[in-house]
Structure 1
Amino acid sequence: MAKGDIILGPNQYGKAECRLVRVTRDTPVHRIEDLTVTAQLRGDFTACHTDGDNANVIATDTQKNTVYAYAREYGIGSPEQFLLTLGRHFVEDFEHVTGGRWESQLHAWDRIAVEGEPHDHAFVREGRELRTTLVQRDGDDTWVLAGFRDCTVLKSTGSEFHGFPRDRYTTLAETKDRILATSVTVWWRYASADLGDWDARYAAIRDTMLETFAGLHSLALQQTIFAMGRAVLERFPEVAEVKLSCPNKHHFLVDLEPFGLDNPNEVFYAADRPYGLIEATVQREGEPEAPAAWANVAGFC
């Protein structure tokens, strides 16, 4: 192959955003698992791109059907375990598939309360964040990433912002007491794909982050998100690295003086844009270099 020849570079394909709802009916109290699953395969698909030869192409429709069939045959249990099972099937059962990427978002449901008791089979969609999961395989190597997004949090006090440089374009006033609000998007990378008990671990890591947000007296959103990532790494040795992306949901004090009223940090207007966007990776010093599967996993850091 001569220099300058045009060749196919990295590629992947699959079925995106398969809506999967599984109802477990083995007792009168039903359980709902609601996922959006995206499956993508990597491997020897050059002939399809260059010559239209589909001999090695597992149709995206087949991938979709496998998602539903595996939900019936193996159950879901946890997003991590379900995606690991899918990845194992495609990589180990198809010789020309060398790896892939399987991602999900979990849509949570609460039971509707009837006369103070949770109903056996009636649910209401939770308004909380989406739980996110990503499994990547490259041959025998597997990486499990977990996290959540659209988690909106707010502190009505316990936050300051001051001491920043000022020039002729600076109009922001310094403050010793402000509302701190953000919508947290976070991914963390597990050091192993064989941990098990994924649901309990996810809940504990999530709670650790939110407790840190609530408990830290913040001097900057940067300080807060670093503390959230550090708390996870300190408490969970099985987590190798944490990535956070947090837009600053600004709340500005309304000037009520024209109406003859004071405003002792009580009335604000919430500005949706533009907004500060704070992102960081929190890692242990000397940690082995992250796999390529982790790079730009959420489009940041």
Structure 2
Amino acid sequence: MPLIKKRYGKGRVRVMRIHRDGDRHEVSQLNIKAMLEGDFARTYTNADNSNTVSTDTIKNVVNVVARENTGLSPEEFCQVLAQKYFNTYPQVSSVSITSHETRWNRLSFGGKPHPHSFVLDGNGKPTVELTAVRGGPLTLASGVDGFAFMKSTQSGWENYVKDRYTTLAETHDRICATSMVASWKWSGKPASYPATNAKILDTLLEVFSTTYSWSVQDSLYRMGEAALAAVPEISEISMACPNMHFIPMNLSAFGLDNNNQVFLPTDEPHGQIECTVGRG
């Protein structure tokens, strides 16, 4: 029987690149599918793998090219990646690469772009919850679901409980990112609900972005304090923040360092940090 078509590769290779230009960071999160065609027929027909590159190696090449090219656009990155496969494996006759980008937009405060803080493009779903009893009080809360934000530095996790089950290493410099569910209870009517909701989110983001985070717990409490101080019409604010993890890739096997520049994005399993801050 003839082998009519053949190709193989690696899908869902997720990679986050951080390009550091002094204090200013550029971030690029990609989901790559890399498929190869070439002289691989005997793997299918003769159980002969001697000419075939492992799919795990195909994934490793993505990470190596990411480390060597932190500042390239996705279009340029895909071109360099394809050429890397051609240069490394003469048995490859064609390469097909698909890239999907998760876009992070730079935050600005006071009209000044922030060097290392971002929000997810097309971000979050505004929410409202109302409870009313005939002849009784009405309770109203506003909020947002799935509001993602990130900073590429100025976050750490140190001095926590360590025992024989602990494997996580301390760090004073990590990506801190979350997809937040938050709600705030109204105790008075603001001049404008939309404008005040926007002010609350702006306040939360500014505290998160412009101060060092000793933990997500530390940031959330201070963010809640600031929101209550900024908006007297709310009585409390609740925030639930699942971590969006970015795991530094170990590239030492390829003779490359990784100074917090190339990461594996993952959200399973994730830390889940929750708190409610109210008025005393």
**Which residue of structure 1 aligns with residue 229 of structure 2?**
234
Aligned to 1:185: 181
The corresponding residue for 1:256 is: 251
Amino acid at match of 1:153: F
Q: How many residues align?
A: 159
Higher-strand-fraction structure = 2
The residue that corresponds to 1:144 in the other structure is 140
Runs of 4+ in 1 over 2 A off after TM superposition: none
Distance 2:124 2:190 in 1: 24
Decide whether aligned partners of structure 1 residues 195 and 265 sit closer, same or farther in structure 2, where only a CA change above 3 A counts. closer
- Over 3 Å counting, the alpha-carbon distance change for 1:227 and 1:240 in structure 2 is same
In 1: Cα distance, 2:127 partner to 2:210 partner: 25
Aligned to 2:220: 225
1:270 aligns with 2:274: no
- Which residue identity lines up with residue 158 of structure 1 in the other structure? Q
- For 1:241 and 1:145, how far apart are their aligned partners in 2? 10
Q: After superposition, what is the alpha-carbon deviation per residue over 1:112-136, rounded to whole angstroms, capped at 9, x for unaligned?
A: xxxxxxxxxxxxxx71211111121
What secondary structure does 2:235 align onto?
A: strand
- The residue aligned with 2:279 is 284
CA RMSD of aligned residues (A): 1.2
Partner of 1:135: 130
Matched letter for residue 251 of structure 1: F
Please give the per-residue CA displacement for 1:127-170, whole angstroms capped at 9, x wherever unaligned: 12111111211233111100101111110000011101111110
Identity %: 38
Shift of 1:198: 1.1
How far apart, in 2, do the equivalents of 1:206 and 1:255 lie? 36
Query: Aligned-pair distance for 1:235?
Result: 1.2
Does the Cα contact within 8 Å between 2:180 and 2:240 map onto a contact in 1? yes
Structure 1 distance, partners of 2:192, 2:243, is: 33
Kept in 1: contact 2:243–2:267 (CA 8 A): no
- Whether the 8 Å CA contact 2:190–2:196 is kept in 1: the answer is no
Distance (whole Å) between structure 2 residues aligned to residue 234 and residue 196 of structure 1? 17
d(CA) in 1 for partners of 2:256 and 2:277? Answer: 45
* Aligned partner of residue 204 in structure 2, secondary structure: helix
Following the alignment from structure 1 to structure 2, what is the Cα–Cα distance between the partners of residues 128 and 178? 22
Counterpart among 144, 164, 169 of residue 165 in structure 2: 169
SS in 2 for 1:200: helix
CA distance in 2 between counterparts of 1:257 and 1:225 reads: 35
TM-score scaled by length of structure 1: 0.51
Alignment partners' CA distance in 2, 1:129 and 1:240: 23
Instruction: Identify unmatched segments of 5+ residues in structure 1.
Output: 1-125, 286-301
**Separation in 2, partners of 1:153, 1:204:** 16
Q: CA deviation at 1:195?
A: 3.5
How far apart are the structure 1 equivalents of 2:231 and 2:244? Answer: 29
Q: Secondary structure at the match of 1:222?
A: helix
The whole-number CA distance in structure 2 between the counterparts of 1:195 and 1:203 is: 12
Matched residue SS, 1:184? strand
Q: Does 1:159 align with 2:155?
A: yes
Which secondary structure state, in structure 1, belongs to the residue aligned with residue 166 of structure 2? coil
How far residue 283 of structure 1 moved from its aligned partner, in angstroms, is: 0.9
TM-score (norm: length of structure 2): 0.55
Distance in structure 1 (CA, Å) of the matches to 2:232 and 2:126:
21
Deviation at 1:275, TM superposition (A): 0.6
Structure 2 residue matching 1:282: 3-state secondary structure: strand
Deviation at 1:196, TM superposition (A): 4.3
Amino acid at match of 1:183: S
Give the gaps of 5 or more residues in structure 2: 1-120
* Distance in 1, Cα, partners of 2:267 & 2:152: 17
Output the CA distance in 2 between the equivalents of 1:275 and 1:195.
Answer: 36
Residue identity matched to 1:186: A
